Amino acid sequence: MRFDEYRQYDAVGLAQLIQGGELTAAEVTEAAIQRAEQVNPKINAVITPFYDVARQQAARYRPQEQPLGGVPVLLKDLLGDVQGYRTGHGSKVYCREPVAKSTSELFRRYRDMGMIFLGRTNTPELGLLATTEPVANGATRNPWHLKYSAGGSSGGSAAAVAAGIVPLASAGDGGGSIRLPAACCGVFGFKPSRGLSPMGPLPESWDGAVVEHVITRSVRDSLLVLRHCAGADRWSQYPLSATEDLFRQAETALDKPLRIAVTSQSFYGGDTAPECRAALQASVQLLQQMGHQVEDISLPLDGDKLLACYADIYVANVNADMGPLVRRYGQRFVRSHLEPLTYLIYQVGRQFSAGDYILSRRHWAGFSALMAEFHSRYDLLMTPTMAVPPFKIGDMNPSRLELTLMRVCNHLGLSRFVPRRSLYAMSQPQLQKVPFTQLANITGQPAMSVPLHWTADGMPVGVQFIAGRLQDGLLFRLALALEQARPWWHKVPEIDT
């Protein structure tokens, strides 16, 4: 199967051909592996290949009643486990951890759908940054231009899908980590409502801010995966189950104009680049041509409080994640195997009291109430996915001076005395590049990045839509209509410099 043939189909299309006997799982898997071997040395999306195992599974596969039977996929190397493999979380600090004894619930559901696992994709250390450039595995490069970032934290997955290695790859979103790399790589990224996707054996991640799903080229692939994987598992503290009505609604055409509020004003007070404002304006015109009501607004949002709430998640959860490793392997091992910024975040978290974090968490309710009132007047909020077009490799990393200061503070044990506000001030320039996505993680709302625009120099720019809680079906209905009105399938990166 040639790449130009393979690239014509999404996961649903490939599964239909396999089930119908027109293709075999072995042929499709081999096409995916050949594409990976061709382009991965350039983009560094796949860091742990399972190629031999995937070939064996594909050779044994016989068509059966499975939604994505025989379709090769990639799995993000963060949170989710695959039995027999070590989950690296983008970090050297997990090098002594044992291989997984079981497969995580979500990946088990993927396997029940018939997916063939091709390998693990790159992610920043602990999924913390909006760019995928971990010291442990090296940078993932944007297939549209290799000097640019694929975004993060699901950058490896987005780059692999955009490059045509697989039609879909797993991803997770704790502050935009599905939507941001989807925007950078010109693919579709959907963050479900809080609680729809299982997290087992974790009860939740980042206090519910993280939701796991997939990055895809087609909207229907994303919808199909969510339909078959949604629902709480036995580890969930909140047994929320997706109703069949949600998915029935998602598959019906929009029958009335939507009320869409639009803003390009950064939630954190920074500037929005002209390319991103142009993408938004072009999308507004498209929506108006489709008959929707679009209105410019200014969202009355406390950006400083939002930034603090989001940053508090980092220091609290990194501290919780590193504590057991320190007890097992010692402080010196953890310090020497973590990137300087991550270790600084861990140490700052040591001074963060439980009471302070509970007070921070209580602010989440205020943002939920704000958005509930907003959705009493509007169906959707529309923004650029990012405040800048795709940025170059290195642009989101600490400066040399900042790295030097962090290393000195870490070595001398001074990091735990750094005030949280100082750490947050240091992170603000980076967050101002990506200010639009964290709100939906705090409130638990569904959100998506749709690849509706490309710049004059050929770089993708995503447009974000946020719906009310558990209104995932409404977003899918709009996404399917947008995909038909302004298709992006014909756009294929040449993967050059």
Catalytically active residues, by annotation: 76, 153, 177
Between CA 207 and CA 315 the distance in angstroms is 12
**DSSP string spanning 182-200?**
HHHHTSEEEEPPTTSS--T
Residue 343 φ then ψ, to 5°: -65, -40
**DSSP string spanning 122-164?**
---GGG-SSS---TTT---EETTEEEEE--SSSHHHHHHHHTT
Asked if 78 contacts 181 with a C-beta cutoff of 8 angstroms, the reply is: no
DSSP state of 214: E
DSSP state of 284: H
For 209, 267, 295, the CA distances from 299, given in Å and listed in that order, are 21, 8, 12
Between CA 168 and CA 190 the distance in angstroms is 12
For 112, 198, 200, 239, the CA distances from 234, given in Å and listed in that order, are 17, 9, 7, 8
Between CA 158 and CA 184 the distance in angstroms is 8
Between CA 51 and CA 54 the distance in angstroms is 5
The CB-side HSE value for 65 (13 A sphere, CA atoms) comes to 0
- Burial letters for 381-416: b for 16+ Cβ neighbours within 10 Å, e otherwise? bbbbbbbbbbbebeebbbeeeeeebbeebbeeeebe
Asked if 115 contacts 68 with a C-beta cutoff of 8 angstroms, the reply is: yes
Q: Where are the alpha helices (DSSP H) in 20-128?
A: 25-43, 51-60, 105-112
Give the bridge partners for 164, in sequence order: none
Between CA 205 and CA 363 the distance in angstroms is 18
For 89, 106, 145, 148, 313, the CA distances from 229, given in Å and listed in that order, are 23, 7, 34, 33, 26
Asked if 436 contacts 383 with a C-beta cutoff of 8 angstroms, the reply is: yes
Give the bridge partners for 464, in sequence order: 383, 449
